[in-house]
Structure 1
Amino acid sequence: IIGDGQVSLGSQIIKPNARKVRKLKDGVMAGFAGATADAMTLFERLEMKLSEHPETMRACVEMAKAWRMDNRYLRRLEAVMIVVDEAGTNVQLTGTGDVLESQDGIIGIGSGGAFATAAARALIDVDGLDACAIGRKAMGIASDMC
């Protein structure tokens, strides 16, 4: 999982080095795109769900259900999350309450997400590139385009 660290307000970059990827518990990482304060709230909520449901996928489903059902608070949040774990779970949690599992282990979110996903898929079969190198190259390509 890799993040660009860029926080923007409209077309202006207001922070180039935000920490968008976080460890939620041993073996579970999450990253976000969207409103930073909203994402921090979602990180906290997902951490609570992980303490209730140790299985990452189950915690994500419970988080998405809560996100959809809370009309007053969570439904107003504007953020998207990627959650991964050591067991191979890799899902995208959306603001509409979707839990989208990647078919090939590659997920991209945010304004450059589609570019990064396409680049990573093109690089996945290149000999000599590990996941970290693929992620960095894909982010570089996305940043050149978006």
Structure 2
Amino acid sequence: MSDIPTWHGTTILSVRKGGKVVVVGDGQVSLGQTVIKGNARKVRPLGDGTVIAGFAGATADAMTLFERLEGKLEKFPGQLLRAAVDMAKDWRTDRYLRRLEAMMIVADKNVTLVLTGTGDVLEPEHGVTAIGSGGNYALAAARALADTDMNAEAIARKAMAIAAEICVYTNNSLTLESLDA
């Protein structure tokens, strides 16, 4: 076992409800038991702004993946699923890319996807998905709130607040991006 502290955590959540899709991420970056940064931006629009993405994992790795996905979106404009599958194939088979440690949630007006380095391109059930150290807490909270009359943004904000109360690697400094679905 190594004595070198490891980077921990983030929480990224996506909620699709009522004609809107929201991707939200917390801002905390931790190294071991130390908070290194509290306001990191882990969610951003991609390409021409018709896709939003959030990442959990190593920042440099995520930036590489964002750039790669933007390239695929240029190659397959308006086809997020096709671009994501093509990128996931590269991610899994390319010697350099397969060493990258990150997961991504990407969404456009039609689809939300979770992308992993093992080649997974997963479309969530129930319009809600989450990744990262606090992902399961945010997912459970959002699923419970999905049947209420709250809108997508309100659900996302409340679910992230709940995750931040439970997960020590998640904070309340949120970056939220949304699109009309």
Match of 1:137 among 158, 170, 181: 158
**What's the TM-score once normalised by structure 2's chain length?**
0.77
Q: Select the structure that is richer in helix.
A: 1
Q: Distance in 1 between matches of 2:33 and 2:90?
A: 32
Q: Alignment partner of 1:107: what SS?
A: strand
Question: Does 1:70 pair with 2:70?
Answer: no
Runs of 4+ residues deviating >3 angstroms: none
Which residue does 1:46 correspond to in 2? 69
**Structure with more strand by fraction:** 2
1:28 is aligned to 51
Instruction: Identify the residue that residue 59 of structure 1 maps to in structure 2.
Output: 83
Q: Distance in 2 between matches of 1:62 and 1:11?
A: 37
Which stretches in structure 1 are left out of the alignment for 5+ residues? none
How many residues are matched? 143
Which residue is equivalent to 2:35?
13
Identity %: 65
Are positions 1:99 and 2:117 aligned together?
Answer: no
- Over the aligned positions, Cα root-mean-square deviation in angstroms equals 0.9
2:127, 2:116 → 1: CA distance?
17
Q: TM-score, normalised by structure 1?
A: 0.95
How far apart, in 2, do the equivalents of 1:10 and 1:78 lie?
A: 17
Gap regions ≥5 residues in structure 2: 1-22, 168-181
Higher-RCO chain (CA-CA 8 Å, sequence separation at least 6): 2
